[in-house]
Amino acid sequence: MINDYMKLPFHDYDDNKNLSDRSLSESEVSVLAKGLNFAVTPNKVPIADIVTATETAIKQAKLDQSKAESLRHKVSTTLCNAKLPPPNTTKEERKALDELAKDKDIVIVPADKGKCVVVLNISDYDKKCQLLLKDKRPISLSATTLLAVTGNRNEAASFYKFINEVDPNIKFTQEECVDNKLAFLDCQVHIHEDGSLKSTVYRKPTHTDFYLQFDSHHPLIHKLRVIRSLQHRANTIISDQEDLPGEQNHIQKSLGCCGYPNWAFTKAKKTKEHTQNQNAETGTGTQVTIPYISGLSERIKNTLKSFGIASLTNPPTSSGGS
């Protein structure tokens, strides 16, 4: 959808694309550059939400009156001593978020590709939505399959023609190797002169290496998972060990630009994660979700855990939801 708007005049602010009539201030550009998944530190403790989660946990775990009162007392004491973490945005950026949220003439959305943040006139956005809704053409679903066809080009062309004639409702497209390389999802297959293959990590030309910012108000475990997922992809896809250090350096450099310190990579290697299912199966089998407040939520989680209650944390509204 956003690609259709690229024909309109726009102002380029780093990774932001302003296609609206609104002139973005320096603070608005700064806060949008953090990404739409950036969670802003809350300005108040969500006491009601935590109390509600506690009562839900008590009911679901079927705690007796003595344990229920003990849990309520411990949670209440923790809330009374709670302090908000330091803000991760400036006053100007918070004001900018408020101003953007109040402007009903614009809509802020992610681009179709990459991590670009796009600001559109709501009128243009509505028109495009109406055009899509009025489009009566059949919706096509795509699936990607890697299929190697041996033989010369004529044999490959014949095979391609054959599979496209099997069913009129199923059509195949093809992509040929360029410089003996073929991209398949996030894997790039390299074909050597002797016919042997090797695989490396593939990134599209629109890829920005922009990930969840480390100063976003998310639990640390979420940020460690970003590191682990990228490292797991590298270890899984790369076939030649000699290519692995280069990819690991790329990951560390990219995440370093997103604010990830060196100690986070060390901790990501050492920390053992438990899946949500394993967590839910411990204790009473009860699991609740509590809002995430750095420092506070960890204490609430430990308190609930002491009563056999597992908990998940939900970060506050991201900048994209303001």
pLDDT at 113: 73
User: What's the confidence (pLDDT) of residue 13?
Assistant: 38
Say what the pLDDT of residue 208 is: 86
Contact between residue 317 and residue 40 where contact means Cβ atoms under 8 Å apart: yes
* Amino acid (1-letter code) at residue 146: L
> Do residues 293 and 317 make contact, with C-beta atoms less than 8 angstroms apart?
no
Q: What pLDDT is recorded for position 222?
A: 94
* Burial class for 153, CB neighbours closer than 10 Å (0-12, 13-18, 19+): exposed
Give the C-alpha separation, 87 to 209, whole Å.
Answer: 25
Q: Any idea which residue has 């670009």 for tokens?
A: 116
Per-residue model confidence (pLDDT) at position 3: 45
Contact 139, 231 (CB under 8 A): no
- pLDDT tens, per residue, the chain with 322 residues: 444 433 333 333 356 789 999 999 999 999 999 999 999 999 999 999 999 999 999 999 999 999 999 999 999 999 999 999 999 999 999 999 999 999 999 999 988 776 789 999 999 999 999 998 888 777 666 666 666 666 567 777 888 888 888 888 888 887 778 888 989 889 999 988 888 999 999 998 888 899 999 999 999 999 999 999 999 999 999 999 999 999 999 999 999 999 999 999 999 988 655 444 444 445 668 899 999 999 999 999 999 999 999 999 988 765 555 4
Host H or E run for residue 289:
strand 286-291
Domain chopping of the chain, boundaries: 145-177, 185-273
Q: What is the pLDDT of residue 165?
A: 87
Q: Give the pLDDT of residue 6.
A: 36
pLDDT at residue number 270: 83
The pLDDT tens digits of the residues spanning 188-217 come to: 999 888 889 999 999 988 888 999 999 999
Look-up of token digits 């998940």 = 312
What residues are paired with 110 via a beta bridge?
117
Among residues 301, 308, 231, the alpha carbon closest in space to that of 50 is found at 301
- CA nearest neighbour of 47 among 293, 220, 298: 293
pLDDT of residue 9: 33
What pLDDT shows up at residue 276? 43
Beta-carbon contacts of 226 under 8 Å, excluding residues fewer than 6 positions away, are 211, 212, 255, 260
